[in-house]
Amino acid sequence: MSDQAVRGLDQLPYFVPTVHYDVHTQNGHVPVGTRRSTGSGVNVFYLESFIDNLAHAAGKDAYEYLRELVARNKKFRDRDDWLKALDLVANMSAWGTPLPDGWARGIAIDDRRRPSRSTIALCAQVVTISISKSGQLRLERVDCVFDDGFSLVNRLSVRKQIEGQIAWAFSDAMWHQITIRDGRTVESNFDTYKIARMADYPPAVNIQFLKTDNKWISGVGEEAIPQIAPAIAQAITGKRIRSVPFGN
């Protein structure tokens, strides 16, 4: 483990009394390219899903469990900002209030933290989904709290970026996959590689900015992507989902 990784352990957001950190790199023969949200997409999915599994096992509300683990971590330097973000997005989404039959909410948070750099961009989201009797999942609403740092030059531009990321993240969570068969890819164009269309976009998207003391935000082009998949997985109650895409 690198010295940077060791230092990064001191900044885990959740209270964990004992931590073992290990890294393994798996090399495959299939060439790969860059992915929007890079490593955060998969890392946040496993971490937030794992925390949700713990909440489920403990019989606790997902938002309250998240909040408790963050609040108990007194060594976490951004604890207060995380708590504010969680409280604000829960309030925006009316977390805990009744929903129609077949509807559910899920919550996830991340700040693009990396041991190798000091920049972050805090983002918390609540998704509201519905699942029809035939099993059709629909994204009904997304509430998003995004890090304002000490100043965003153009909030409208950031808002539009987040709105686009929600569409991309929903596609990624539901359908994005490449299948290798007989040495070549099955998906060759958008007739076989499904993406979200206008009809799939949630009818309601609410975005609020949270004022923090973060001097440098890591970016606004992919920071609102990683939370969508674990939040949807959490909302699909009755089954603990540990892989994407959910369309399978």
Residues 115-153 pLDDT 10s: 677 788 999 999 999 999 998 999 999 999 999 988 888
CA distances from 114 to 8, 66, 185 (A): 7, 20, 33
As beta bridge partners, residue 103 has: 130
How confident is the model at residue 218, as a pLDDT? Answer: 85
Cβ-proximal residues to 131 (8 Å cutoff; 6+ apart), any chain: 102, 104, 137, 138, 236
Reported as a single tens digit per residue, the pLDDT across 168-177 is: 999 999 999 9
Six-digit token string for 244: 């994407």
CA distances from 80 to 84, 85, 128, 243 (A): 6, 9, 25, 31
Domain ranges (residues) in the chain: 3-16+36-235
Q: What is the mean pLDDT of residues 46-74?
A: 95
**Which class is 3-16+36-235 in CATH?**
alpha beta
Q: Cα(60)–Cα(232) distance, rounded to whole angstroms? A: 18
Does residue 7 surpass a pLDDT of 80?
no
Q: Cα(5)–Cα(245) distance, rounded to whole angstroms? A: 29
Distance of CA 3 to the CA centre of its chain: 27
- Mean pLDDT, the chain, as a whole number? 90
Does residue 53 surpass a pLDDT of 90?
yes
Six-digit token string for 88: 């604000």
More confident residue, 55 or 116: 55
How confident is the model at residue 8, as a pLDDT? Answer: 53
Residue 9: which pLDDT band, with cuts at 50, 70 and 90?
A: low
More confident residue, 76 or 21: 76
* 28-32, 72-76, 80-84, 224-228, range with the lowest pLDDT: 28-32
Does residue 5 surpass a pLDDT of 50?
no
Six-digit token string for 29: 């023969």
How confident is the model at residue 107, as a pLDDT? Answer: 98
Six-digit token string for 211: 């004022």
CA distances from 14 to 66, 73, 116, 165, 186 (A): 8, 6, 19, 26, 40
CB 13 within 8 A of CB 76: yes
